[in-house]
Chains A and B, each alone.
Chain A
Amino acid sequence: MSRTILVLADLRNGAVRNVTFEMLSAAKRLANGGTVIASIISNNGSTIDTAALAHYGADKVLVADDAQFENYVPDAYAAVLDAMIKEVNPNLVLMSHSAIGRDLAPKVAARFAAGQVSDIIDVTEDGGNLVFTRPIYAGKAFTKNTVAGEIVFATVRPNNLTAGEPDVSRSADKEVKVWAELSADSLRTFIKEVVKKSTGGVDLSEAKIIVSGGRGVKSQEGFKPLYDLAEVLGAAVGASRGACDADYCDYALQIGQTGKVVTPDLYFAVGISGAIQHLAGMSNSKVIVAINKDPEAPIFKVADYGIVGDLFDIVPILTEELKKVLAE
């Protein structure tokens, strides 16, 4: 069956994030000749280069451009997405399972009395039905779900759906307009300030490589060699709960069943013993490297490659070696 699918572009600092292309590629496949519509809600919406959205599958791009969209305000974004949905009447709405999508999808789904499946890592078609795969218990198990209804919402975990080869011959119409009148009193929450925090400069949820530290780093300063390694790799820095609880780093970095669940291509677990709670958040990473002094640490049971030894000796050598190799 052919479908109309609306994809909310995931943006960071005015740029389109890769998960958007992953969603568009999936949408193109699932539309079965129907229409794929990309949506942009931004304070620089009109200036965003939308050509790539078409290359990955968008047939049409809807743009909301207003200074009010500089930061995410649920009432503002919901009003726009609501209006876009009413205009194009999609069967499926895809959003990234990131800070905005996680917050916005259930809000708008509730308006449409629609079902939602969160944090999907795959979507296939079976007998005309969409079948969504998602982790439960932070990846200790998975389910395949169908969702009933005229319109279904799904949030997509970055790094899991595959972005197809871009087709540069494709183009899309762009419709820029005011989608909803946003009077000040219609927005019931407002952003007073945004404080950018350091997570190694790369966002954990979308990072291809993550360097994570545990109690073994011993102190806030102990994270320094991990940041150095992450910088060479263009990686994000994460942490186990132990490291966060010990105040070696901010909770924003925590990976685990409480905390963030990540699926990078490469995960360095440094000074992390591998409590089941942490493993739940990272064990579905494609390749895992463990560096730990304790040869009995459970982390070695899930690691593809392990080095038993002192992280303060090994990590700096690794950083230097990578600098050399990656420069070649």
Chain B
Amino acid sequence: MNIFVCLKQTFDTEEKIVVENGQVKEDGVRFVMNPYDEYAVEEAIKLRDANGGSVTVITIGPERAQEALRTALAMGADEAVHITDESLFGDEYTASNVLAAYLKDQAYDIILCGNQAVDDGSGQVAIRVAELLNIPHIGTITKLEVNGTDVVAHRDAEGDLEVVGGKLPILVTAQQGLNDPRYPSLIGIRKANKKPLANPGAGDLNVAGDIAKKSVVLETFLPAAKTGGRILEGDNESRVKELVGLLRTEAKVL
């Protein structure tokens, strides 16, 4: 089974965001594999171990994004593709066209992606890729079964669970609860660090049409800082009464 995983390197979710000169500051920030993509990588490895075949991980991003690919290789992925050509960087529209241009020339049975990236959180790229490749998708899955060419997935639809059927080739996006991603083994890390990464550029990919980004960021800003509010004092009954009073009269939310 030929399995592909599209992944992204993102800020560690523990990082505080600092805006400097109108941009999110990246110096000194710890980068990790997007947590949702970890579920996708884990599921891909499990599928390969059960069915044979190979797992190829792909990312678009600067040199540092290599770390996320190495992590995936150390977890057990077989091959990695790192698109570092800056002419292929842009927004979700650009990224999906670039990934689709790469994938359309590959023999794939299933493509896994995280359901969104924790940085921009827009959740567009994977589904756009499925549409551009003209294959079906199942989004936000929490369980995946593949039997021959039959696919059954559990989809998290805002609290409800949908059991969705389909056939390969298909793209699925991983939601929390799908699995517990493994930690890379030491031997895996050693092997992963030696592995060559494929690095196709714009000339190799035959990207059709205009892929220039459509979304322009005019401004980046932080939310108003919260200073911490009022800690209520007294016994439980009086504090609760005071709280309810404040919620009604001061905050006006009841």
**CB of A97 to closest CB in B, whole Å:** 9
Partner of A143, one of B158, B160, B217: B217
**Given known A103-B139, A141-B19, contact A117–B163 (CB-CB < 8 A):** no
Tell me whether A88 is interfacial, beta carbon within 8 Å: no
**Given known A137-B17, A188-B166, A192-B165, contact A321–B214 (CB-CB < 8 A):** no
Contacts of A134 in B (CB 8 A): 122
Tell me whether B50 is interfacial, beta carbon within 8 Å: no
Scan residues 27-69 of chain B and give those whose CB is less than 8 A from a CB of chain A: 35-36
Tell me whether B103 is interfacial, beta carbon within 8 Å: no
Partner of A199, one of B35, B128, B152, B159: B159
Tell me whether B4 is interfacial, beta carbon within 8 Å: no
Check B132–A75 contact: CB distance below 8 A: no
Check B162–A71 contact: CB distance below 8 A: yes
Check A192–B152 contact: CB distance below 8 A: yes
Q: Which residue in chain A gives the minimum CB-CB distance to B128?
A: A110
Scan residues 291-328 of chain A and give those whose CB is less than 8 A from a CB of chain B: 295, 300-309, 313-314, 317-318, 321-322, 325-326
CA distance A79 to B127 in the complex (A): 15
Tell me whether A86 is interfacial, beta carbon within 8 Å: no
Contacts of A199 in B (CB 8 A): 159
Check B232–A306 contact: CB distance below 8 A: yes
Contacts of B24 in A (CB 8 A): 136-137, 141
Check A98–B254 contact: CB distance below 8 A: no
Check B218–A145 contact: CB distance below 8 A: yes
Stretch at the interface among B80-88, B185-193, B234-242: B234-242
Contacts of A284 in B (CB 8 A): 223
**CB of B163 to closest CB in A, whole Å:** 4
Stretch at the interface among B70-78, B90-98, B195-203: B90-98
CA distance A204 to B167 in the complex (A): 32
**CB of B119 to closest CB in A, whole Å:** 6
Scan residues 207-241 of chain B and give those whose CB is less than 8 A from a CB of chain A: 209, 213-223, 226-232, 236-237, 239-241
**CB of A227 to closest CB in B, whole Å:** 14
Check B253–A189 contact: CB distance below 8 A: no
Scan residues 37-94 of chain A and give those whose CB is less than 8 A from a CB of chain B: 71-72, 74-75
Partner of A106, one of B131, B177, B251, B254: B131
Q: Which residue in chain B gives the minimum CB-CB distance to A315?
A: B240
Q: Which residue in chain A gives the minimum CB-CB distance to B92?
A: A116
Contacts of A188 in B (CB 8 A): 135-136, 166-167, 170
Check A317–B237 contact: CB distance below 8 A: yes
Check A147–B226 contact: CB distance below 8 A: no
**CB of A73 to closest CB in B, whole Å:** 8
Check B17–A140 contact: CB distance below 8 A: yes
Q: Which residue in chain B gives the minimum CB-CB distance to A313?
A: B236
Contacts of B136 in A (CB 8 A): 74-75, 188-189
**CB of A185 to closest CB in B, whole Å:** 11
Contacts of B209 in A (CB 8 A): 113
Tell me whether B11 is interfacial, beta carbon within 8 Å: yes
Check A118–B241 contact: CB distance below 8 A: no
CA distance A137 to B17 in the complex (A): 8
Tell me whether B184 is interfacial, beta carbon within 8 Å: no
Partner of B166, one of A140, A189, A251, A265: A189
B104-127 vs A, CB cutoff 8 Å, 1 = contact: the mask equals: 000000000000001111111101
- Pairs of residues from A and B, 10 with the lowest C-beta to C-beta distance, nearest first: A115-B214, A188-B136, A118-B122, A110-B131, A304-B229, A251-B177, A106-B124, A189-B166, A199-B159, A106-B127
Chain A contacts to B: CB under 8 angstroms:
71-72, 74-75, 98-99, 102-103, 105-107, 109-111, 113-119, 131, 134-149, 152, 188-199, 203-205, 209, 233, 244, 250-254, 257-259, 261, 265-266, 275-277, 280, 283-284, 286-289, 295, 300-309, 313-314, 317-318, 321-322, 325-326
5 other A-B residue contacts (CB within 8 Å) besides A197-B159, A307-B231 = A117-B215, A140-B16, A144-B219, A244-B176, A317-B240
A-B contact pairs, 6 of them (CB 8 A): A98-B158, A109-B128, A143-B218, A191-B162, A194-B162, A325-B254
